[in-house]
Amino acid sequence: MKFKPLGERALVQIFEREEKTVSGIVLPDTAKEKPQTAKVVEVGEFEDGITLNQGDTIVFAKYSGTEISLDGEDYMILDADDILGVVQD
């Protein structure tokens, strides 16, 4: 399914990483801190000179966005104000 965000929004896929304690115990989802980095999948129409491209890695504000599921995959829709920056390699 193809999805195009409207306005100044971006569809992103969150990086899920398995977290372990120093002793090697894998933490359950309920004990993990919510991730704040994601990969841009699709972008809407950004204004004010903001450039965001598919494949960019972004950092976003904690507790922001709307979670959705498309074709069995989990995504998040973020407003431009919730995107804090682009990670430069």
- Domain residue spans of the chain: 9-86
pLDDT at position 86, please? 93
pLDDT at position 85, please? 92
pLDDT at position 55, please? 94
pLDDT at position 22, please? 64
Give pTM, 2 decimals.
0.77
Give the confidence band of 26 by pLDDT, cuts at 50, 70, 90: low
Task: Give the burial class of 43: count Cβ atoms within 10 A of its Cβ; 0-12 exposed, 13-18 middle, 19 or more buried.
Answer: buried
pLDDT at position 21, please? 58
Domain topology for 9-86:
10 Kd Chaperonin, Protein Cpn10; Chain O (2.30.33)
Percentage of the chain surpassing pLDDT 90? Answer: 55
* Strands (DSSP E) found in the chain: 9-14, 37-43, 57-60, 66-70, 73-79, 83-86
